[in-house]
Structure 1
Amino acid sequence: MKVIVIGNGGREHTLAYKLLQSSRVTQVFCIPGNAGTATLERCQNVPLAVDHFEGIARVAIEQQIDLVVVGPELPLSLGITDYLQEQNIRVFGPNKVAAQLEASKSWAKSLMYEASIPAAHSGTFSDIESAKTYLQKQGTPIVIKADGLASGKGVIVAHTEAEAQQAVDELFAGGFTKLLIEDYLEGEEVSILALTDGLTIRPLLPAQDHKRVGDGDTGKNTGGMGAYAPSPLVTPELMERIQQEVLEPTLQTLKNRGIDYRGIIYVGLMITPSGEPKVLEYNCRFGDPETQAILPLLETSLIELILACLEQRLGEFPPIAWKNESSVCVVVASGGYPDSYEKGKVIKGIKEAESEDVIVFHAGTICKDDHILTDGGRVLGVTAVSESFETAIEKAYQAVNLIQFEGMYYRHDIGNRLLGKT
């Protein structure tokens, strides 16, 4: 099989790497890919934008592509699945209507209410005045969310009224026309990525992301500074509860709305101090960096799982097999991220960092004049797999310490909560 992977981040490098482990996959084309995908055997980058649907379709037809796997949310929200399906090109990823699960926070919230899914109480606002009036009434802490795609950075947790008012001003000034304001939930966050064929929904290993840019979960929200899997917070009993109270009702309500959803449903959950799972958000694709932590543990063939979803055979598919190990991903970023940062810095030490237990997934990188250069905010995802979280964390940071580029930044506490540290 020939496969196209759309996207240029760490998630897409991981998807290409995992797909190529199957003997059924003969070649992968990454659109546009990065310096990491460029070095994979049987993988070729194609320099097209992720929203250049016509060009992507042309490559698929010319190369006789059997499957397109869509990584990022932007092309999904713009309708790439619909576009390619009209030309009889097989795509893994929801259509434009279904992608509203991520593209519109208010659409997703209405689905939660309709499905009676446990979630924070919220209000939706299209003007500054009504939003600020609601804030004054509700008090703080409170959560303000942009109602649209914001690359994981459109959520602000305000602990004072001044912070909340500023968040409203900034998000409306940033071009968003609608905001969601939610009650603040206490607890610990967990990410559940689930495969669905529109009839059946099956979770992958639970993961925990580290959204804040600074150690100790301080500073601004980012697209994610690191992740680990499987999260010990999610016991088999809690996973069963998530299946019954969240995943099944979500899929059923999508079906009730006439939506044939085949792809990944990512559920961001808050596990409250009482142990109750409450939905914070949905995403319509593989998470990033959760994918870099989860997929290296997958023993079942990824391509076979994807085909089972597309052919609506997930219900009869054997149990998903996993390595009995732990995985930790540390994101290495450009200095200044998630605000402004410089590109074009030479990266050294990637080969030295990789080993039998460590994979360096590229995110914001490019190849130029035989050098690998930084080309984004999140540059690399250093993933270590080991028999325990303690050794996986140790190996990940040993590898990170071998990598160098000007302005390099990373959190030093990924996985600390697993070791009883804060």
Structure 2
Amino acid sequence: MEPVNVLVIGSGGREFAIAKKLKQSNHVDHVFCAPGNVGMPTVGVEPVAIEELDFPALIDFAKSHQVAWTFVGPEDALCAGVVDAFQAAGLKIFGPNQRSAQLEGSKEYALDFMNQAGVPTAKHQAYADVEAALAGISEFGFPVVIKDNGLAGGKGVVIAEDQATAELTIREILKTPDSRLVLEECLIGPEYSMFVMIQDGEYRILPMAQDHKRANDGDKGPNTGGMGAYSPLPQLSAKDRQRMVDEVVVPTVQGLVAGNYHYHGILYIGLMLTADGPKVIEYNVRLGDPETQVILPRLATDLFDLVDTCVNDQAMPEVEETNDAVLGVVLASAGYPVNPVHGQAIGPFPKQAGIEIDFANVGGSLDHLVGTGGRLLMVIGKSATLEEAQHQVYQYLGKLDEPECFYRRDIGDKALKL
């Protein structure tokens, strides 16, 4: 086949990694990313100044630029129905439809689905009323997990250790009309990220990763969108991984088929390996950020082939992984996630063997980059072992002079300090 054009929707580090991987395919001529970011030309990707929720403009662009299909990165667009809009316009697009996207858009909806499909998860209860939620705490004890029911960019979860924190969090989430929250028992065990590519009843499991949500070393500080990740997971046994597939992935896929979801896209499954076996913490209906930046470099199968067969309802190729170890650390703006600094000059970023930079919230120009708040970029190391990859990344970060930024210094320790 002649090389084709593809479009990626989104602007962050996840979309940078997706677009970069697609650009490496022999089947791809041009990769557009809307709106993208100023760092994307460093990997041959063309940013397009169209916002991710401007569906009519995205559809017009896809038609006028002969885009073979579009890959949706962010959950906001999926939950707003971008897939439905593209399909109504006769265009091919990779991602679940609006109904399926409720699995991320509403924690309560996802938990109801898990209960119906027989997928193991935490004990839980949803509330819309402050007093009822406060009274419900006694059913769970402390610590109790409190989740904003809607989309929160990975930051809508608080693990309350005491009554005062729980009450403050509940009142904050339920202060606006129509808001809801979910109380959950606090599960104990290591967390893992599993990414499943689903085409109705068929599925393929991508390389697994471990994310680090808390802002500071030692899993301290507030929840963030993710401060770093690594893959593979030497501490996860083949037996435990198979339990995750048998007890979580299979009933999830069967539940989607039984519910006529016609799911075509990625389903992220956040798992905790408890003493009672694997349990689901949450579903996301797209690739995760920052895990995407470390799992795609380990994907030996052509990402284009996987997506192309999925959108065309053809047999998907098997997923093959490289033997490489990949570890990435996020450079974030000082004050993130509560009140991040904006506009600071960042860089330069010298080239170094084994190191790649995936840009996210950056502005300005390639010669004069500035931070635009939040997670600015990820420094990624690829090597034969996780230990070497971790060493490469922290050696590189140690040479940078970024006074209005910070990063965690313990990404990967959970695998290396067993």
Classify the TM-score, shorter chain.
Answer: over 0.9
Contact kept in structure 2, 1:347 and 1:403, CA below 8 Å: no
SS of the counterpart of 2:272? Answer: strand
Aligned-pair CA distance for 1:140: 0.7
Is 356-365 or 68-77 further displaced after alignment? 356-365
Is the counterpart of residue 24 in structure 1 residue 27 in structure 2? yes
Report the alpha carbon displacement of residue 175 of structure 1 after superposing the two structures with TM. Answer: 6.7
1:11-410 equivalences under 5 Å are 11-41=14-44, 43-173=45-175, 177-273=179-275, 276-314=277-315, 317-350=316-349, 352=350, 354-368=351-365, 370-410=367-407
The letter for the 1-side match of 2:30 is Q
| Unaligned stretches of 5+ residues in structure 1 | none
For 1:261 and 1:398, the matched residues in 2 are separated by: 42
Shift in Å, 1:13: 0.5
Conserved 8 A contact 2:140-2:184? no
Any conservation in 1 of the 2:38–2:365 contact (CA below 8 Å)?
A: no
Contact 1:346 1:406 in 2 (8 A): no
The Cα RMSD (Å) is 1.4
Distance 1:232 1:178 in 2: 38
Which amino acid is the alignment partner of residue 288 of structure 1? D
**Distance (Å, rounded) in 2 between the aligned partners of 1:174 and 1:28:** 41
User: Separation in 1 of the partners of 2:313 and 2:60?
Assistant: 27
> For 2:314 and 2:401, how far apart are their aligned partners in 1?
46
Structure-2 change in CA distance of 1:390 and 1:257 (3 Å): same
Structure 2: distance between partners of 1:222 and 1:369: 26
The 3 A distance-change label for structure 1 pair 106 and 40 is same
Secondary structure of 1:60's partner? helix
Task: Read off the aligned partner of 1:388 and give its amino acid letter.
Answer: T
Over 3 Å counting, the alpha-carbon distance change for 1:176 and 1:328 in structure 2 is farther
TM-score, scaled relative to structure 2? 0.96
The answer to which of 206-215 and 133-142 deviates more is 133-142
**Whole-angstrom CA distance in 2 between matches of 1:128 and 1:313:** 49
Q: Is the 8 A contact 1:32 1:45 kept in 2?
A: yes
Whether the 8 Å contact between 1:363 and 1:376 is mirrored in structure 2 is: no
Distance 1:248 1:92 in 2: 21
- Name the CA distance, whole Å, in 1 between partners of 2:39 and 2:320: 27
Residue 193 of structure 1 contacts residue 204 of structure 1 at CA under 8 Å; is this kept in 2?
Answer: yes
> Deviations for 1:147-187, whole angstroms, at most 9, x for unmatched residues?
11000000000111211111111212367611010001010
Moved over 4 A (4+): none
Residues in 2 aligned to 1:364 and 1:187: alpha-carbon distance in whole angstroms: 32
**Structure 2: tracts of 5 or more residues without a match:** none
State the one-letter code of the partner of 2:325.
Answer: S
Please list the CA deviations of residues 182-240 of structure 1 after superposition, one character each: whole Å capped at 9, or x if unmatched.
00101010000111111212211111000000110001000000001111233222222
Please give the TM-score of this superposition, normalised by the length of structure 1. Answer: 0.95
**8 Å CA contact 1:198, 1:262 repeated in 2:** yes
2:417 equivalent in structure 1: 420
Does the 8 A contact of 2:198 with 2:267 survive in 1? yes
Secondary structure in 1 matching 2:174: helix
Offset at 1:369?
8.2
Aligned residues: 415
**How far off is 1:418 after superposition?**
1.8
Per-residue deviation, residues 267-322 of structure 1 (Å, max 9, x unmatched): 00001145x110000000001000001011111100001112222334xx443121
Give CA deviations for 1:313-364 in whole Å, capped at 9, x if unaligned.
34xx4431211121101000000000112211111132x1x43311110011
Higher mean displacement: 324-333 or 173-182: 173-182
| One-letter amino acid of the counterpart of residue 359, structure 2 | H
Q: Is the 8 A contact 2:39 2:366 kept in 1?
A: no
Q: What residue identity is the alignment partner of 2:31?
A: V
Q: Is the 8 A contact 1:31 1:48 kept in 2?
A: yes
